[in-house]
Amino acid sequence: MSLLQELQDRSGNACELCASKNELNIYEVPPISTGGVDGSLLACKTCIDQIENPETTDVNHWRCLNDSMWSEFSPVKIVAWRMLNRLKKEGWPQDLLDMMYLEDEDLRFAKESGDHLDESEKVIHRDANGAVLQAGDTVVLIKDLKVKGSSMVAKQGTAVRRISLDRENAKYIEGKVGPTQIVIITDYVKKIAEKE
């Protein structure tokens, strides 16, 4: 059975956020989705567009979260929690958040998006050219870097895939160079655009 079929069966062939039956697609929950049924949900084009483009958000569309936040499936609850946090200035989303419960692991993953932070609190990571970095991105080193505490030198041009971000410091990211997980200063990396 394909992932799409599994999600259709789980959801009754409806958007797991707003229950729409139109233009349904698989939505992998970022930043580093496990993929599969446990890291994805079935969502309509309207929901996906507004999740990915916050400036297009229609607040009233998300009143559907009053129902979907009670889903038994983690990916649905995580996205509902993120959207409620994004909209909490409206008042009613904060009431729903006060009632909502997420397991510790789900809550940690939900917070990876930073949606629960006010704009002033968000730590924005930028590469040497000023491009915004996100967890899961691939970067390339723009100069040789000596790795502290070892004799290893990470060579210029080395690609570091699936980076993670330091939530406290905008200058630090982490990633693997070979088998070694290292902390890298963002001034020495350049983001690589993912191929479609």
Q: Do residues 46 and 18 lie in contact, with contact meaning Cβ atoms separated by under 8 Å? A: yes
Residue 116 has phi, psi (to 5 degrees) of -80, -10
pLDDT for 123 = 67
pLDDT for 196 = 41
116 found inside a domain: no
Q: How many domains does the chain have?
A: 2
Give CA–CA dist 34/44, Å, rounded: 20
Q: Do residues 57 and 50 lie in contact, with contact meaning Cβ atoms separated by under 8 Å? A: yes
87 and 131 co-located in one domain: no
77 and 33 co-located in one domain: yes
Q: Which of the listed residues 111, 132, 157 is the one where a domain comes to its end?
A: 111
pLDDT for 119 = 53
Upstream peptide bond of 31 is cis (omega within 30 degrees of 0) = yes
102 and 152 co-located in one domain: no
pLDDT for 128 = 87
Q: Which residues of the chain have pLDDT under 70?
A: 32-34, 114-123, 194-196
Domain hosting 160: range is 124-192
Task: Read off the tokens for 46.
Answer: 């309207």
Written as one letter, the residue type at 105 is E
Pairing of strands 180-185, 172-177: antiparallel
176 and 102 co-located in one domain: no
pLDDT for 47 = 96
